[in-house]
Amino acid sequence: YYADEEISPNGRGALELGFDYDKYISAVAFFGGLYPVFGGTGAIAALGGIGPAIAASPNPARTLAGGVDAAGAFAVNNMFQDGTSWSIFTHNTLHVTDQLDLVVGLRYVNEEKDGKFDQVAGSSQHCTNAKLNAGALVAANAGGPLAVVADTLAAFGVGFMCFPFAAVTDGLPGSPVEFDQTFKDTELIYTGKLVYAFDDNITAYASFTHGFKAGGFNLDPTAAVNGADPRFDSELTDSYEIGVKSDLFDGQLRANLSIFHMEMEDFQVLEFTGIQFVTFNVPEAKSTGAELELTMSPMDGLVLQTGLTYADARYSEGCDDFSPLAPGPVASLCGAQLTNSSRFSAVVSSVYEGQLPGTELGYFIAANYRWESGRRTSTQPYVGGEGGPNNPADVQPANGKADLRVGLTGVD
């Protein structure tokens, strides 16, 4: 198997700040967010350096930027990726006895991706000035009684003023950083299954599979900021399953039951931060559960089906302990349920097919209902990170959806 994929030049992105950008940042970030934390502007006015000017300004963001308006600041960024994947695989069924089969499979996978970020053009003098003034502000108050105020003001101001998708790669801390790197990984994937047929209608099985999902790049101007690695690692999965499949009562009832457990290493998490999508790895996640499927035909033309699933998909307690290099967002996920994973779900459906008397037309009536228990919908389960309050908008309550279809068939 061989595949080749290129992202170019569709990765191009351009953004320009508008005329009201620094006014908005001043209103929301400084007056609405920062100043109330300090109980007003008194502490900021007492700072050495640019602090008093910021406290007295009707537009603090522009003052931090040395009087330069953010309007017109822009960046044009190109993202490239060339990925190749090849594998050699075999899958075999060995008939050990008349009733026992052994299924074995092997796949060797080789993945390589070249990721690159180039900035074609850009201008963001307001951001550069903000960083320089923030650095001077911190230095002027270092070791003093208001050092924390200076540090907070500097981080807050630069964080809001230097919108990363409209900032230049000027080499200052927090600025976008161009990169040209390669991701390589290989893995031996394998599976084994024992299948035992008690008779023609009842079969039991037990299986193990070691799976692999390739890593890659966060193709984003902020991916390599402050020396960060723009790559994320491959995900490995060990999956265990036992089950029974059966056809009963002359085929009128099919019943399948399975119990499963999955252990995922370097689980890939896609998070929306509010302005961008970022993929990172959580060292460990698990999923344990069971599934029951029933299909029955109590009369000609009528088929009834139901499926019940219990799945406890979660990040392990202390999942960040497995890797000292785990990214900051990991700690708040440990012990939480996986995003969009309901513990319980059920599906019930029915289909009846018949023929209209005196015609060649067939008809069907189909109805189904799906129910799921509550589930988390955002990546982070807390407001403000680990230890914060639960996000009130995070949970989708238990819900059901019904569907009814009626139709005609059989016309030439």
What is the pLDDT, as a whole number, of residue 395? 84
User: What is d(CA 166, CA 28) in angstroms, rounded to the nearest whole number?
Assistant: 19
Cβ atoms of 292 and 310 closer than 8 Å: no
Is residue 104 within 8 Å of residue 94, measured between CB atoms? yes
Rounded Cα gap, residues 304 and 118, in angstroms? 57
Q: Give residue 278's pLDDT.
A: 87
CB 36 within 8 A of CB 27: no
167 CB-near residues (< 8 Å, 6+ apart): 73, 75, 122, 124, 127, 175, 176, 221
- DSSP assignment of 107-125 equals EEEEEEEEEEEEEEEEE-H
Q: Kindly report the number of other CB atoms within 10 A of residue 2's CB atom.
A: 8
pTM: predicted TM-score of the whole model, two decimal places:
0.84
From first to last of its 412 residues, what are the pLDDT tens digits of the chain?
999 999 876 556 788 999 999 999 999 989 998 899 888 899 999 998 999 999 999 999 999 999 999 999 999 999 999 999 999 999 999 999 999 999 999 999 999 999 999 999 999 999 999 999 999 999 999 988 999 999 999 988 898 899 889 999 988 888 899 999 999 999 999 999 999 999 999 999 999 999 999 999 999 888 998 888 999 999 999 999 999 999 998 888 999 999 999 999 999 998 887 777 889 899 999 999 999 999 999 999 999 999 999 999 999 888 776 655 556 677 778 888 899 999 999 999 999 999 999 888 999 999 999 999 999 888 877 655 555 556 777 889 999 999 999 999 886 7
Distance from chain centroid for Cα 283: 14
Structure tokens at 211: 């799976």
Alpha-carbon Rg for the chain in angstroms:
29
Which residues have C-beta within 8 Å of that of residue 33, sequence separation ≥ 6? 156
Confidence at residue 380, expressed as pLDDT on a 0 to 100 scale: 77
Q: Cα 142–146–149 angle (5° rounding)?
A: 100
The confidence score (pLDDT) of residue 159 equals: 87
**Phi, psi at 153, each rounded to 5°:** -60, -40
Residues found in the chain = 412
What's the pLDDT at 327?
63
Q: What six digits make up the tokens of 27?
A: 């209103």
Q: What is the pLDDT of residue 226?
A: 85
pLDDT of residue 326: 56
Residue spans of beta strands (DSSP E) within 214-276? 216-217, 231-232, 235-248, 253-272
